[in-house]
Amino acid sequence: MAEPIALAALMLDAALGWPDALYRRIGHPVGLFAQIIGACEARWNRPERSFGTRRALGILALLLLIALVGGAGWIAQQLLLRHLGPWGWPAVAALAWPALAQHSLFDHVRPVARALAQGDLPAARTAVGRIVGRDTAMLDQAGVSRATIESLAESFCDGVVAPAFWLLLLGLPGVWTYKAINTADSMIGHREPRWQAFGWAAARADDLLNLVPARLSGLLLCLAAPGGWRILWRDAGNHASPNAGWPEAAMAGGLGLRLAGPIAYDGVMHDKSWIGDGRDDADSGDIRRALRIYVRACLLLWLVAGGMAWAL
């Protein structure tokens, strides 16, 4: 049941993305998730409460989010499949489509390469600032390029492979529950004192849900650019995240670049390990090569989804 839904949703996303006109009219579902998370955080994550209490309330907030989103997804899927007959699964695919980000990720990365190719470093910094959390004001061309490529690799997991994986496995409730947890992690799953207790559950849940998709992402990127295998096995563990290192290492190896390394967040330099052993002077051409690898990896994911639909 879920297999043709996943393939159709991937095709819809690749063809259409999430159109700006639609976004202006109705927004995006993750905006609703953000409102729920923000309301719970404002009400429950108060500094006067103990660490243990805030952690417990963070768990409660996440369970509430899962119940609301997963329950709504299950009800919608059951109603559509039961009452629309042969049109049921295309309708479910249409509801799953906004959870995927193949098209929008490409559209966010390409302007960085274009600005760098035109020699407009300030515009490139602005463009990459829309897709990364690090400080970008002082990045040179190589720093902008590496940040863009790293974000592309990591987001291939979070925005494409993981949603497709949970859609294949659990259908509509699976994909939207994943997106809700991933949104919660991006908002509150941080190590700063404000979030450490309340965001603990969101961060751990996101790590768990990305465990298999991250490794699948690395595999797909290596198949799309076979030079990545050695770096994947050697450097996947060099990242602070238990999952992000897999697609980043595969991309670094495929491009022959060094990624990660020292990074500044909020004016504080973090001495992170390097991933890869190639050049560190990345440029717009490397971003374009990364996009080609990304497109090939997305097509391989289509083959996986299509193969499962045919086999089952």
Domain ranges of the chain: 2-311
Which phi-psi region, left, alpha or beta, contains residue 158 (left: φ > 0; alpha: ψ -120 to 50)? Answer: alpha
Tokens 């990304």 belong to residue: 294
**Do 232 and 249 meet the contact criterion of CB atoms below 8 Å apart?**
yes
Q: 275 φ, ψ to 5°?
A: -120, 120
φ and ψ of 263, to 5 deg: -140, 140
Per-residue confidence (pLDDT) for residue 199, from 0 to 100: 95
Q: Are 13 and 100 in contact (CB under 8 A)?
A: yes
Asked whether the beta carbons of 79 and 275 are under 8 A apart, the reply is no
Q: Quick one: tokens of 103?
A: 């098209």
Q: How far is Cα 168 from Cα 293, in angstroms, rounded to an integer?
A: 23
- Tens place of pLDDT per residue across the chain (312 aa): 446 899 999 999 999 988 888 888 888 889 999 999 999 999 999 999 999 999 999 999 999 999 999 999 999 999 999 999 888 899 999 999 999 999 999 999 999 999 999 999 999 999 998 888 777 888 889 989 999 999 999 999 999 999 999 999 999 999 999 999 999 999 999 888 899 999 999 999 999 999 999 999 999 999 999 888 999 999 998 888 899 999 999 999 999 999 987 675 655 556 678 888 888 889 999 999 999 999 999 999 999 988 877 666
Query: Is 159:100 a contact under the CB 8 Å cutoff?
Result: yes
pLDDT of residue 267: 53
